[in-house]
């Protein structure tokens, strides 16, 4: 059993706790919140027995094996580094860090602390339907491009419209559409097609300086991939991967609830399965497999592949931000 603590008490933390418990391989032990009363109220209903308002106390708790980090984006790096330096497992909600400099520093920390492990909680890459798409792409004669969409109105945008600056729409907290929903599409592109040769990001910035929505173009040697991202709109557009006469159609490039392959004759074949009731179960199960048997050669290979993929996605997101002239607070262009 993996005893874990949490940093962050929002809805996504609750979803991860539910998924982790559903696997039967995780047990919530400790909760951190700046407000100790909130740590108690959130933790007790989920079975936690220890509650902290100092992060160091959570990380140094000898009964905590792993820490799930779901704080604002800008805090991920420092908190993950603390967990690694305590020789523990860090599960960091996407995006793990803001730029390649931070990513490399975490990699250096892992080298110094070989007992520690680091996972980016990019949930959909662990799902069967994601792998089904990757397998189908590999079987297609020729790829001629793709259009991937994930645009979902954020409830925090209402607060922005009232004149406030929520974390997810703030440069101070490394927010914006690309850093949030765009992570899913970046993982799609890198995993299914590899790293692009050139990128462009046409960001539609809002008052706070972040991108409320935007269009990214990823240029590969023989085709382009378009990413359509938004947190201040809703879109019901499907996503597609184009072959010659065949194609793959997804209901949503991040949710992947229904995926069809359309062959050259126009015949449709469902290549997706019914998704789990909780979309985080697959990642929680995969992380547990590696944590509990890190020396297994398959687990080592999977773990390294996930780290490499995370590094490339981080680089892609950073390059897109640079092209779109989006710089987070205290971040230099050369970071």
The neighbour count for residue 217, using CB atoms within 10 Å, is 16
**Calpha distance 176→208 (Å, rounded):** 10
Domain count, the chain: 2
Mark whether 12 and 108 lie in a shared domain.
yes
Give the separation between CA 321 and CA 244, rounded to whole angstroms. Answer: 32
* Closest to 94 (Cα-Cα) out of 124, 65, 114, 66: 124
Task: Report whether pLDDT(335) > 70.
Answer: no
What's this model's pTM, rounded to 2 decimal places?
A: 0.96
Residue at a domain's end among 90, 117, 144? 117
Q: Would you say residue 309 lies in a domain?
A: no
In the predicted structure, residue 334 carries a pLDDT above the cut 90: no
Domain of residue 59 covers: 2-117
Give pLDDT tens digits for 15-42: 999 999 999 999 999 999 999 999 999 9
Residues 98 and 150 in one domain: no
Please give the pLDDT value at position 332. 61
DSSP annotation string for 33-89: -SSHHHHHHHHHTTT--EEESSHHHHHT-TT--EEEE-S-GGGHHHHHHHHHHTT-E
Predicted confidence at residue 331, as pLDDT, reads 77
Q: Taking the CB of residue 21, how many other CB atoms lie within 10 A of it?
A: 17
Could you tell me if residue 51 is inside a domain?
yes
Looking up tokens 């209402």 gives 158
* CATH assignment of the domain containing 90: 3.40.50.720
Instruction: Encode pLDDT of 291-309 as tens digits.
Output: 999 999 999 999 999 999 9
H-helix or E-strand spanning residue 177: helix 177-180
Residues 6 and 112 in one domain: yes
Whether residue 234 lies inside any domain: the answer is yes
- Output the average pLDDT for the chain: 96
Residue 272 is assigned to a structural domain of this protein? yes
152, part of any domain: yes
User: Which tens digit of pLDDT belongs to each residue from 229-281?
Assistant: 999 999 999 999 999 999 999 999 999 999 999 999 999 999 999 999 999 99
Asked whether residue 110 falls in the same domain as residue 206, the answer is no
């Amino acid at each position: 059993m993996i005893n874990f603590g949490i940093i962050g008490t929002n809805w996504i933390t609750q979803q991860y706790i539910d998924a982790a418990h559903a696997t039967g391989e995780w047990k919530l032990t400790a909760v951190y919140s700046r407000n100790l009363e909130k740590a108690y109220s959130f933790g007790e209903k989920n079975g936690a027995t220890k509650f902290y308002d100092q992060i160091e106390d959570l990380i140094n708790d000898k009964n905590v094996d792993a820490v799930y980090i779901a704080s604002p984006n800008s805090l991920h790096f420092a908190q993950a580094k603390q967990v690694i330096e305590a020789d523990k497992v860090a599960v960091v909600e996407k995006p793990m860090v803001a730029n390649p400099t931070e990513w490399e520093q975490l990699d250096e920390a892992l080298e110094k602390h070989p007992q520690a492990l680091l996972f980016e909680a990019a949930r959909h890459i662990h799902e069967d339907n994601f792998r089904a798409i990757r397998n189908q792409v590999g079987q297609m004669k020729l790829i001629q491009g793709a259009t991937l969409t994930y645009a979902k109105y954020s409830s925090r945008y209402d607060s922005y419209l009232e004149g406030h600056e929520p974390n997810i729409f703030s440069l101070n907290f490394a927010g914006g559409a690309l850093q949030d929903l765009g992570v899913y599409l970046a993982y799609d592109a890198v995993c299914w097609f590899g790293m692009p040769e050139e990128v462009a990001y046409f960001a539609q910035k809002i008052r706070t300086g972040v991108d409320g929505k935007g269009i990214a173009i990823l240029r590969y040697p023989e085709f382009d991939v378009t990413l359509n991202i938004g947190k201040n709109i809703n879109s019901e557009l499907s996503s597609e991967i184009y072959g010659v006469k065949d194609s793959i159609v997804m209901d949503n490039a991040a949710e992947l609830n229904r995926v069809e392959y359309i062959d050259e004759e126009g015949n449709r074949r469902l290549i997706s399965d019914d998704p789990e009731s909780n979309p985080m179960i697959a990642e929680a199960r995969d992380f547990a497999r590696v944590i509990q048997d890190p020396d297994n050669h398959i687990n080592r290979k999977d773990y390294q592949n996930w780290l490499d993929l995370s590094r490339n996605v981080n680089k892609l997101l950073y390059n897109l931000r640079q092209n779109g002239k989006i710089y987070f607070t205290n971040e230099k262009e050369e970071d």
